[in-house]
Amino acid sequence: MPAGLSWPEAAALGLLALALLVTLCRHLWALRWSLSRDRASALPLPEGSMGWPFFGETLHWLLQGPRFHSSRRERYGNVFKTHLLGRPVVRVTGAENIRKILLGEHTLVSSQWPQSTQILLGSHTLLSSTGDLHRQRRKILARVFSRAALESYLPRIQKVVSWELRGWCTEPGSIAVYSSAKTLTFRIAARILLGLRLEEKQFKDLAKTFEQLVENLFSLPLNIPFSGLRKGIKARDMLHKFMEKAIQEKLQRNSPEDHSDALDFIMNSAKEHGKEFTMQELKESAIELIFAAFFTTASASTSLILLLLKHPSVIEKIRQELISHDCHCTSDISLEKLSRLRYLDCVIKEVLRVLPPVSGGYRTALQTFELDGYQIPKGWSVMYSIRDTHETAAVYQSPPGSFDPDRFGAGRPEAAGRFHYIPFGGGARSCIGKELAQAILKLLAIELVSTARWELATPGYPTMQTVPIVHPVDDGLQLYFHLLQPSQGHEA
């Protein structure tokens, strides 16, 4: 203790010194990123804050949820800089800005996911591949989502949807919708896409392990005990072990009576393109398919149920459309019949506009380029916002915050645009499984309005969390489901 100072004075001096040190570190951190601008460009870096050393604004992002981006967009505009998950990031909103990013794939930008996501999903995935490798993998995987493949999936998806929904209706208590939707979509992914033959206990264990993987996809890249990444790696290794065993059994079985599934399509398509997938590639592709079909579709299914509950007039319009097309159930549904249900299509589009499952996407700048008057330096991450773009697009005639399926009807300008509505992304990286996701949502909607009614089991509606995907906080969407009497589903 310095001579002449009391303990309180010494403590206060120490705190002051610590505060000055922290402030200095933060200024040096901000200066470090200011100096990283491309000096060959006269354009300035976007406005914004880089947060704290190493952590950046990651903790703010995780804690504040959608308010993090909206508050900074209000302060800095549609293009601003921040630092998330260990990387400098430019956050982007707006159709014209996003058009440049999505159409600039392989030239201006390249797909970029957080390091934790790449570690956990692997290097042999469509998500991780770039350039020619990405184009080749996309061609191979296109067979999984071809029209012929989708037609083969539909009857089996319908049976799973019908079986799960009747389980919800016969449950004596309330249903936690998000958990139940995850069970539904995981069952579709595991049994129909991957053709896995699972006992119910195996199914539940696998779903729990996969959920642990997904929950840690967006974690700090720290492989240390008790970290999110370490938990994700443990889940990934367990899934790979299970998948390898299941794939080997499938290859040995190779029964002609088996339905074709996604793995069959992948292996056959790869051979047609002169490639033989290794076991590691098959395992990672299997996990990626579940990842693509599981959480995002569960999120959209939950949003569909929630928004229909809030808007009973929409339910009635769907019922009337089903009656007019003599389509009262999903047992004999086809892609052609689904395509005739125009209002239902508008409803699904509006659900995905109001509550897009994924809030945005990541890219890395391959070269320095201009965006909205700012430079985006080579090597920086670009995070484009789907949700914010949907909320702020000037093209929408009715308020963007309202639920209005008719905005996608014929003759409305909302239905004609391209980059103001991007629930599935766009360009070379657009979601390859979007037709399957939409088909699942339509089958669920038809089954719901034809056979069930549902009501809140809580005093009010839950808050929706948006990171890493849209879902009710603490699975707060608790509903009672009831089977309709035969006449109830077809009332005028």
Q: Which residues are annotated as a binding site for heme?
A: 431
Bridge partners, residue 52, by sequence: 56
| Phi, psi angle pair for 277, to nearest 5° | -70, 135
Pairwise CA distance, residues 45 & 34, whole Å: 8
Q: How many CA atoms lie within 13 A of 38 on its CB side?
A: 18
Contacts of 55 (CB under 8 A, 6+ apart): none
Match 């996604």 to its residue by tokens: 262
**Strands in 4-124 per DSSP E:** 79-84, 87-92, 109-111
CA dist 76 → 46, 59, 329, 376 (Å): 8, 20, 50, 15
Residues annotated in a binding site: 431
Instruction: Report the relative pairing of strands 374-376 and 369-371 from DSSP bridges.
Output: antiparallel
Element (H, E) at 119: helix 115-121
| Phi, psi angle pair for 364, to nearest 5° | -115, 135
Count of C-beta atoms within a 10 Å radius of residue 312: 10
Pairwise CA distance, residues 91 & 384, whole Å: 6
Element (H, E) at 369: strand 369-371
468 prior amide bond cis, ω within 30: yes
Contacts of 221 (CB under 8 A, 6+ apart): 85, 86, 114, 115, 116, 119, 229
Pairwise CA distance, residues 170 & 167, whole Å: 5
Match 């499952």 to its residue by tokens: 357
Helix then strand count (H, E) for the chain reads: 18, 12
Q: Which candidate, 84, 280, 124, 121, places its Cα nearest to that of 214?
A: 121
Contacts of 273 (CB under 8 A, 6+ apart): 136, 139, 140
Element (H, E) at 382: strand 381-385
Query: Are 154 and 335 in contact, with CB atoms under 8 Å apart?
Result: yes
Match 């159409």 to its residue by tokens: 103
Match 């999936």 to its residue by tokens: 153
